[in-house]
Structure 1
Amino acid sequence: MRRAGAGGGAGGARLRLAALLGPPLLWLTLAYLGSLAVLLLSAFWTTDSFTSDVVRTWNTDNIQELLTTPVYRTIALRTLAIAVAVTLLDALLALPMAFCMARVASPRWRRPLLVAVLTPLWASYLVKAYAWRVMLSEDGVVNSLLSPLGLHGPGYGTPAVVLVLAYLWLPYMILPVYAALERLPERTLEASADLGAGTWRTLRSVVLPAVRPALFAGSVFTFSLSLGDYITVQIVGGKTQLLGNAIASQVTLDLPMAAALSAVPVVLIVCYLAAVRRAGALDAL
């Protein structure tokens, strides 16, 4: 009787869990995966050249045009290069900042520093992007600071896009690295020092292996967000064109072609996730 009651209790718990998780999982499947499937499916449709209506006839013309047109290849490679550059720049900035927060700053200052890192996330995306547009203008703050040194700011263009995107996504890289460094046992660093390792050797042999999964986890955010961004390039990119604004410009003109272009960042993100999965990055998210 106890076993039957225990089995019934376990079955009831599973039913309650299914009832609790079922609706949100169903909504996620329909709203996200379903819309993504429709998007990818529409890439194989075409547009009537006379009426501009979408014709639901299966063909691979958009995919072939995407693969054979040099302009699209150039845009895709440029977007990939900017996403990689933003990720590397954020990693170089996040590591010393997170180390200072987790290991150098006193416990009293750690929380204020963490709040300072999170504060930019509370501001509007557009406000931050347009603030950078003002700072990067000819008479902006950047040129005012560099002109006494005989230097000039990047202005508007690809370097400005990398700079602004790196600023926007930097907190997403700092937070997982900070969490990894905070979990790093103090005795590990002490043991490295006792064995005669210097600062750089400890950083290379102890700290970097410990935070590598966190760096990959942060890179998932910086890489994917940079691939899909199209507002920053419109604000500070000048004549630079990326996949995001190429897709946005095609939505009203040729929706199937916009869907085909949208498949490019999806494929790149899936490939990147598969590449970093072995490093345990997904476990650190």
Structure 2
Amino acid sequence: MRRRSGLQLAGLLSLPVLWLVVAYLGALAVLLVSSFWMVNGFTGDVVHSFTLQNFRTLVTEDVYRTVALRSLGVAVSVTVICTVLAVPMAFYMAKVASPRSRHWLVILILTPLWASYLVKAYAWRILLANGGPFDDLFGGPGYGLFAVILVLSYMWLPYMILPVYAGLERLPDSLLDASSDLGARGWRTFRAVVLPMLIPSIFAGSIFTFSLSLGDYITVQIVGGKSQLIGNLVYANIGAANNLPFAAAIATVPVVIMVVYLVAVRRSGALEEL
């Protein structure tokens, strides 16, 4: 009887795994396969024959290399900004604030995630517009790559704060006290004790901030001005150009980058922090 119950439980648990394989990995497989197709230049129909022309275009055309590097730079910039902001905020939440205040601070960090993505993006568009509040106060950065990095950093900051906060909560206070008793000052304690133990948590948060920034196109459409990133090229080739195979080939670029990144950070223990 117990064995039958165990088999039934295993069968129920296998359903989410099956859904992951079919819906998620299956979609990626279709994306990869379709990237090797091409579009007939006369009829506009998709030709289901194997070709490397799409990837050859991505490699040989300067514009696509430039967009890929620009997208990578934006993703790295957003991740660095989120890390610099998240670490002191999370440290205050975990080690300085009272236990009662921590709960409210966590709620405040999570509150922006409950708002609509589009509402937040268009709110920033109003702030950054010519004649907007930022223009009156600071001269206004306007629209462009700086605006994209600013807005994406705001969007994804909670995804960096929460893993770092969880990592700091697991850090024993006795280690900080021992470092202080041995004569280490605040910065030395942070650099020698806290930061090495936070590396997996920072990498865990960077998986979110890096991947979400690398594939985003809505924020770029709203505040990016004339700037183009990978997501915009995918959208343009699906819509106006009606070239699904080439759009699929472009979409494989961030997938490959993320696979390489995940393999690189796996040994740091970041995946266990998710």
Correspondence for 1:275: 264
* Residue identity opposite 2:184 in structure 1: A
Provide, for residues 176-197 of structure 1, a one-character-per-residue CA deviation record: whole Å limited to 9, x for no partner.
Answer: 1011111111111000000000
Correspondence for 1:15: 7
Consecutive unaligned residues of structure 2, counting only runs of 5 or more, are none
**Equivalent of residue 244 in structure 2, options 219, 242, 255:** 255
Give, in angstroms, the shift of residue 13 of structure 1. 4.6
**Equivalent of residue 91 in structure 1, options 83, 87, 97:** 83
1:55-204 aligned at under 5 Å gives the runs 55-146=47-138, 152-204=139-191
Q: Which has the larger radius of gyration?
A: 1
For the residues of structure 2 that align with 1:23 and 1:167, how far apart are their CA atoms?
Answer: 36
Give, in angstroms, the shift of residue 27 of structure 1. 1.8
Give, in angstroms, the shift of residue 26 of structure 1. 1.6
Provide, for residues 27-52 of structure 1, a one-character-per-residue CA deviation record: whole Å limited to 9, x for no partner.
Answer: 22111111110110001111011111
For the residues of structure 1 that align with 2:255 and 2:50, how far apart are their CA atoms?
Answer: 21
Provide, for residues 189-212 of structure 1, a one-character-per-residue CA deviation record: whole Å limited to 9, x for no partner.
Answer: 000000000010001001101111
Per the normalisation by structure 2, the TM-score is 0.97
Correspondence for 2:27: 35
* Residue identity opposite 1:280 in structure 2: G
What count of residue pairs does the alignment treat as equivalent?
272
**Equivalent of residue 193 in structure 2, options 181, 186, 206:** 206
What RMSD over aligned residues (CA atoms) do the two structures have, in Å?
1.1
Question: Kindly, what percent of the aligned residue pairs are identical?
Answer: 61
Give, in angstroms, the shift of residue 24 of structure 1. 2.1
Give, in angstroms, the shift of residue 23 of structure 1. 2.2
For the residues of structure 2 that align with 1:76 and 1:198, how far apart are their CA atoms?
Answer: 43
For the residues of structure 1 that align with 2:175 and 2:135, how far apart are their CA atoms?
Answer: 45
Correspondence for 1:4: none
Give, in angstroms, the shift of residue 143 of structure 1. 2.1
- Local SS of the residue matching 1:206: helix
Give, in angstroms, the shift of residue 107 of structure 1. 1.4
For the residues of structure 2 that align with 1:109 and 1:115, how far apart are their CA atoms?
Answer: 10
- Local SS of the residue matching 2:75: helix
1:220-235 aligned at under 5 Å gives the runs 220-235=207-222
Provide, for residues 87-128 of structure 1, a one-character-per-residue CA deviation record: whole Å limited to 9, x for no partner.
Answer: 000000000110111111111211111100000000000000
* Residue identity opposite 2:208 in structure 1: F
Correspondence for 1:45: 37
State which drifts further: 245-254 or 76-85: 245-254
For the residues of structure 2 that align with 1:144 and 1:204, how far apart are their CA atoms?
Answer: 40
